[in-house]
Amino acid sequence: MISTKRIVKFAVAASFVGLAGSVSAEPLKVAIIDAFTGPIAIIAKPFAEGTRFAVKKINAAGGFNGQPIQLLEYDNQSSPAVAADKLKQAIADGAKIISQTSSSAIGAQITEDVRKWNERNPGKEVIFFNNGGEAYDYTAERCHFYYFKLASNAFIRYRAIVKTMKERGSLGSKVYTINPNYSYGQESQVAQIEATKEAGAQVVGSDLHDLLKVQDFSPYIGKVKSSGAQTILTSDWGTDIILMLRALGDAGLKIPVGNQSLDTPGTLASAGTAAEGAILAKLYNTNIEKGQAFNEEFKKEYGHLPAGEEPTSVFAFGLLGNALKMVDFKGGPIDAKQIALAIEKASYESPGGKWSIRKEDHQVLMPVYISEVSKAARDKHDGTQYGFKIIKVVSPEEAAVPVSPKCKMQRPS
């Protein structure tokens, strides 16, 4: 005979289960595993600001799955080994979306670790949402279904730069390339040489140097001078590009430089007058007319214009936000596969053009803004008298480079 006491106990227990069911809405956790300390922290800062800005906006509009999106931040201390460790921690903490931006080497580590985790843990997949990091092989040999490249790559940038310089007549017939000797620099070298040949010019010299170790760039400038080059293409960043531009200025050599890192905080201020006339390919330029509202909104939040890579993160996570609107887990557990399928179909209207994902290799298609370091730009950068004057806006279709034949993406069943 079941006693009344037992029935009451059972009823109470059952009601708790019912209550528990209604508070189990899983929040979406996004983990930023980036270099917040160390020599490359300078690169990560603008990306992180953009991400925080975008996630805050999504949460202000209601978040996802009935909960605000949680942004977890982990410092990888500019080291791939630490990054691998933090990735394990992030996954253990329940993150479903991983972001890393500042180093292609660290990103390579993370994309491989994510791929292996997903293979070994079906049903618990995580997405590597790469809103920075320009290596091309992420969408070539290393491509996999749960990886999304929300940034450009060396081929997109240098093709756009060289083409525009050729159209303006400032490319000349002889080009010299100088790059740091690691994955990103080596790829940039290949991209620069390819783009130069496509434009019908000749590469008269190519140099790879130790990353952030060279104190004196004058020997390299000496080589450039004796080669008779009329343009320098370089993917150097941080202290490297500053020292190189200074050496260029010291040598009195007035030739245009094609680069993409002059908008990193502190770079333009330290490079000084030597940077004038340099050409960059940016993924957003604050000087476009349609960008005013976005510029103001960002400035209100962070006290400065989104003149660096902040917009890359903002638009990337804006696209994620649009993807999230397409899935509904009704408060239940989050399935990364559904989110990934939604991201493939999602797009985002940035102030200057549409961002969308190419299904074959998960590379984002977006407009590229060829800009020139000039006093004539409206928005000044880094406390200097220079800003990034827009020379040309290249449409997403024109900017895109073909899918790499090396990408063999295995789609989930």
Partner 1 sequence: MDWFVISLINGAVYGLLLFLVAAGLTLVFGMMGILNFAHASFYMVGAYAAYALSSVIGFWGGLLIGPLIVALIGLIVERYLLRPVHKYGHASELLVTFGLAFVFQELIKAVFGQFLINYAIPDSLRFSAFTVFGTPYPFYRVFVALLAIVLFVALIALLRFTRMGIVVRAAVQRPEMVGALGHNVSAVFMLTFGIGAWMAGVAGAVGGALLTTSPNMALEMAILAFVVVIVGGLGSLTGAFFSCLIIGLLTTFAVSINVSLADIGRFIGLGDTLAALGTVATLKLSTYAGAMPVLVMLLVLLIRPSGLLGERK
Cβ closest to partner 1, residue 270 vs residue 374: 270
Q: Please tell me what DSSP assigns to residue 274.
A: G
| Least gap, CB of 266 to partner 1 (angstroms) | 4
In one-letter notation, the amino acid at residue 393 is V
Is 386 a binding residue for partner 1 by CB under 8 A? The answer is no
| Least gap, CB of 379 to partner 1 (angstroms) | 19
CB 298 within 8 A of CB 56: no
The interface with partner 1 within residues 193-252 (CB under 8 A) comprises 207-210, 212-216, 218-220, 222-223, 225-226, 238-239, 242-243, 250-252
What does the alpha-carbon distance between residue 286 and residue 303 come to, in Å, rounded to a whole number? 14
| Least gap, CB of 51 to partner 1 (angstroms) | 19
Cβ closest to partner 1, residue 226 vs residue 292: 226
SS3 137: helix
Alpha helices in 70-213 (DSSP H): 80-92, 104-120, 154-168, 183-198
The interface with partner 1 within residues 141-180 (CB under 8 A) comprises none
| Least gap, CB of 192 to partner 1 (angstroms) | 16
In one-letter notation, the amino acid at residue 67 is Q
301: Cα separation from own chain's centroid = 21
Cβ closest to partner 1, residue 216 vs residue 397: 216
Alpha helices in 79-153 (DSSP H): 80-92, 104-120
Q: Which of 301, 411, 306, 315 has the alpha carbon at shortest distance from 362?
A: 411
Cβ closest to partner 1, residue 96 vs residue 381: 381
| Least gap, CB of 284 to partner 1 (angstroms) | 21
Q: How many CA atoms lie within 13 A of 135 on its CB side?
A: 23
Cβ closest to partner 1, residue 308 vs residue 351: 308
Residue recorded with tokens 């300078």: 42
| Least gap, CB of 175 to partner 1 (angstroms) | 17
State the CB neighbour count (10 A cutoff) for residue 9: 11
Cβ closest to partner 1, residue 113 vs residue 236: 236
Cβ closest to partner 1, residue 46 vs residue 107: 46
What does the alpha-carbon distance between residue 296 and residue 147 come to, in Å, rounded to a whole number? 32
What does the alpha-carbon distance between residue 301 and residue 303 come to, in Å, rounded to a whole number? 6
Residue 353 in tokens:
């053009």
Cβ closest to partner 1, residue 102 vs residue 152: 102
| Least gap, CB of 250 to partner 1 (angstroms) | 4
CB 367 within 8 A of CB 353: yes
| Least gap, CB of 205 to partner 1 (angstroms) | 9
The interface with partner 1 within residues 244-283 (CB under 8 A) comprises 250-253, 265-267, 269-270, 272
What does the alpha-carbon distance between residue 334 and residue 279 come to, in Å, rounded to a whole number? 44
Cβ closest to partner 1, residue 238 vs residue 353: 238
Size of the site for partner 1 (CB under 8 A): 36
Q: Which of 47, 49, 54, 99 has the alpha carbon at shortest distance from 72?
A: 99
The contact pattern for partner 1, residues 33-72, with x = CB under 8 A and - = no contact, is ----x-x-xx--x---------------------------
| Least gap, CB of 216 to partner 1 (angstroms) | 5
Q: What stretches of 14-160 adopt beta strand conformation (E)?
A: 29-34, 70-75, 97-99, 127-130, 147-149
Q: Where does this chain bind partner 1 (CB under 8 A)?
A: 37, 39, 41-42, 45, 181, 207-210, 212-216, 218-220, 222-223, 225-226, 238-239, 242-243, 250-253, 265-267, 269-270, 272
